[in-house]
């Protein structure tokens, strides 16, 4: 992976470890920069990540996180987990878990949650439910899509249901960002109704606005 002047040292070290192992699925630098910015918006909160890999994305997150922000990431592969654990050994606000992504639930709720190795609903497994994982107004990032070129977005010629799930989720304000010519990511805010008196239904029995 090419190195750039603004890459934090921990990102470089993680990327080199991934390179030595021949691991090609580390976070793209453009995605990393986005993560760094988003982490900066979490003042004193909690950040979670599924799929640590060698810790490239996590290193970007840690670079952006302010004082008091804690970060937890989970990885199922023992070798990758061990490499990342060694890398982050001296970073006190970072916790690495070895196990299935669902183990990350123990550290929830999150102010920022990055799904990069489980919970995305891309395969046969159902996606996670934002209200079980995020604090109100928390941010969700689902990485690694091909930028959409039409609506609805398609995957292998069919509507991309995994992406549409996030873009249409009733608890999320979500959008797709194109970060590089062939790379897009979905960023969403978990929104909850404002507290206050219960609202009347907007529909009368006749179906007209009340
Ligand atoms: C795209 S890579 C992660 C890259 C990493 N986040 C980065 O920024 O460099 C996906 C990772 O998720 C891990 N993974 C896949 N399924 C998982 C699961 N069920 N639980 C935990 N980790 C999983 C894989 O072993 C792999 O290391």
Per residue in 63-97, pLDDT (tens digit) is: 999 989 999 999 999 999 999 999 999 999 999 99
Q: Would you state the pLDDT for residue 204?
A: 42
Per residue in 194-210, pLDDT (tens digit) is: 777 765 544 444 433 33
Please, what are the domains in the chain? 26-190 (3.40.50.150)
C-alpha to C-alpha distance for 111 and 47, rounded to whole angstroms: 6
Distances 73 to 98, 108, 154 between C-alpha atoms, Å: 9, 11, 30
Average the pLDDT over 167-177 and give the result.
97
Looking from the CA of residue 51, the nearest atom of ligand 1 is 12
Global pTM reads 0.91
Out of 17, 51, 53, 104, mutate this one to test ligand 1's pocket (max ligand atoms within 8 Å of CB): namely: 51
The answer to whether the CB of 77 is under 6 A from ligand 1 is yes
How many A from CA of 199 to the centre of ligand 1? Answer: 42
Task: Assess contact for 142 and 31: CB atoms under 8 A.
Answer: no
Q: What is the mean pLDDT of the chain?
A: 91
Q: How confident is the model at residue 132 (pLDDT cuts 50, 70, 90)?
A: very high
Query: Measuring from atom 15 of ligand 1, which residue has the nearest CA?
Result: 117
Q: Would you state the pLDDT for residue 133?
A: 98
Torsion angle of alpha carbons 108, 41, 49, 153, nearest 10°? 110
C-alpha to C-alpha distance for 92 and 108, rounded to whole angstroms: 18
Query: Measuring from atom 11 of ligand 1, which residue has the nearest CA?
Result: 51
The answer to whether the CB of 143 is under 6 A from ligand 1 is no
Per residue in 7-43, pLDDT (tens digit) is: 999 999 999 999 999 999 999 999 999 999 999 999 8
Which residue in the block uniquely carries the two structure tokens 């805010």? 189
Average the pLDDT over 180-205 and give the result.
78
Q: Would you state the pLDDT for residue 123?
A: 79
Which residue in the block uniquely carries the two structure tokens 């040292």? 9
Please list the residues that pair with 141 across neighbouring strands.
114, 187
Looking from the CA of residue 144, the nearest atom of ligand 1 is 1
49 membership: H or E segment, kind and range: strand 46-50
Q: Would you state the pLDDT for residue 196?
A: 75
Average the pLDDT over 93-109 and give the result.
98
Q: Would you state the pLDDT for residue 122?
A: 78
The answer to whether the CB of 125 is under 6 A from ligand 1 is no
Q: Would you state the pLDDT for residue 80?
A: 98
Q: Would you state the pLDDT for residue 69?
A: 98
Looking from the CA of residue 101, the nearest atom of ligand 1 is 20
Task: Assess contact for 145 and 165: CB atoms under 8 A.
Answer: no
Per residue in 36-69, pLDDT (tens digit) is: 999 999 989 999 999 999 999 999 999 999 989 9
How many A from CA of 182 to the centre of ligand 1? Answer: 20
């Amino acid at each position: 992976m090419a190195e750039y002047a603004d890459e934090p040292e921990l990102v470089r070290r993680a990327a080199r470890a991934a390179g030595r192992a021949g691991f090609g699925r580390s976070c793209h630098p453009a995605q990393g920069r986005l993560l760094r910015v988003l982490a900066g918006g979490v003042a004193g909160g909690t950040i979670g990540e599924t799929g640590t890999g060698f810790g490239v994305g996590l290193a970007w997150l840690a670079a952006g996180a302010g004082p008091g922000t804690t970060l937890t990431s989970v990885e199922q592969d023992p070798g990758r987990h061990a490499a990342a654990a060694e890398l982050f050994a001296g970073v006190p606000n970072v916790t690495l878990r070895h196990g299935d992504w669902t183990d990350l639930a123990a550290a929830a709720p999150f102010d920022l949650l990055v799904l990069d190795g489980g919970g995305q609903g891309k395969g046969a497994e159902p996606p996670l439910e934002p209200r079980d994982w995020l604090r109100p107004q928390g941010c969700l990032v689902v990485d690694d899509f091909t930028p959409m070129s039409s609506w609805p977005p398609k995957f292998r010629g069919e509507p991309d249901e995994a992406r549409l799930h996030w873009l249409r989720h009733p608890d999320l304000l979500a959008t797709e960002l194109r970060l590089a010519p062939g790379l897009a990511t979905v960023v969403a805010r978990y929104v909850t109704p404002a507290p206050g008196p219960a609202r009347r239904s907007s529909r009368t029995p006749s179906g007209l606005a009340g």
